Amino acid sequence: MEVLKGIHHVTAITSSAEENYRFFTYVLGMRLVKKTVNQDDIQTYHLFFADDKGAAGTDVTFFDFPGIPKGQHGTNEIAITAFRVPNDEALTYWEKRFTRLNVKHAGIQEQFGKKVLPFVDFDNQQYQLISDEHNQGVAAGTPWQTGPIPLEYAITGLGPVTIRIADFDFFQQVLERVFQFTLTASDGNTHLFEVAEGGNGASVIIIHDEASPTGRQGYGTVHHVAFRVEDKEALAAWQERIEAFGFQTSGFVDRYFFGSLYTRVAPQILFELATDGPGFMGDEPYETLGEKLSLPPFFEEKRTQIEQLVRPIDTVRSTIQFEKEYE
């Protein structure tokens, strides 16, 4: 059967859709490619930030649940979302940028032979930038062409997702036997697993952590991670495989922008498999992508109700001329 193609997206929780939009647009220079609602909770925004074309493997998405408490980082948590940048020089640019913009960061470090730059946002959501300088494997995406970041330094997609887990032996078996990942490197209690072509776009980093308290989901934490498959037929094959190992699944879920299959693989660890298409370009022009409230066809009859439930957020960028910020 078809192996997973790499990371599809990461979905996290924010305390403020407005602040989230500003941070990702003006600080990180990622493109808002879809402003929609959580299909399971229509009063909640669901924002998608990705590369210039909204390609699978480049997007991080956010729920804005009203009244949700702050999350707590710990073990049994999808802990860190990484973003790819072209090379080590780009990390130097970002380190200076974060310092200038008062974004809390930990300085440039090295992890499994690649340079990384850990940082957090206003919710203490944990991220890192990772250099593609010595990377091979799944290709990167296309930087947002008209955003504020010089193209030679801009974010091009998702890098490895880091998961902290208490029962490492069990989780290793899940990754290797069920999802066909391969352990390619270890450093103490930190382990690198890769799938398909491998590289930054098809890796997860697992930290064996029995000492920390169990994380608590809330704003500032990740909700789930999704991995790429080709189409609905591949999802059906994966559903059969996952259920054969004794895990429950959601069955096929039509998200309109892609098809999905969900399974909980460990306490608080939710995996999604998602199809590469149809993508985000079907219902909006390229020039104004993400500027209007986009709803799948099966929600259009509820548009008036939904627009009354969610507050307006101004995400118009087609009228803005961004100057490239070289420092």
Residue 325 lies in a domain: no
Residue 158 lies in a domain: yes
Inter-residue contact 247 to 262 (CB < 8 Å): no
pTM: 0.98
Residue 318 lies in a domain: no
How far is 71 from 49, CA to CA, in rounded Å? 22
Return the residue matching tokens 């009203």: 66
Q: Which domain holds residue 235?
A: 7-309
Residue 327 lies in a domain: no
Amino acid at 131: S
Inter-residue contact 254 to 40 (CB < 8 Å): no
Tens-digit pLDDT profile for residues 23-43: 999 999 999 999 999 999 999
Tens-digit pLDDT profile for residues 94-135: 999 999 999 999 999 999 999 999 999 999 999 999 999 999
Residue 109 lies in a domain: yes
Local confidence band at 2 (pLDDT 50, 70, 90 cut-offs):
confident
Residue 255 lies in a domain: yes
Local confidence band at 82 (pLDDT 50, 70, 90 cut-offs):
very high
Residue 164 lies in a domain: yes
Q: What is the total count of domains within the chain? A: 1
* Overall average pLDDT of the 249-271 stretch: 97
Write down the pLDDT at residue 327: 82
Write down the pLDDT at residue 91: 98
Tens-digit pLDDT profile for residues 220-230: 999 999 999 99
Residue 317 lies in a domain: no
Which CATH number belongs to the domain containing residue 280 in this structure?
A: 3.10.180.10
| One-character DSSP codes across 109-160 | EEETTEEEEEEE-TT--EEEEEE-TT--SSPP----TTSSS-TTTS--EEEE
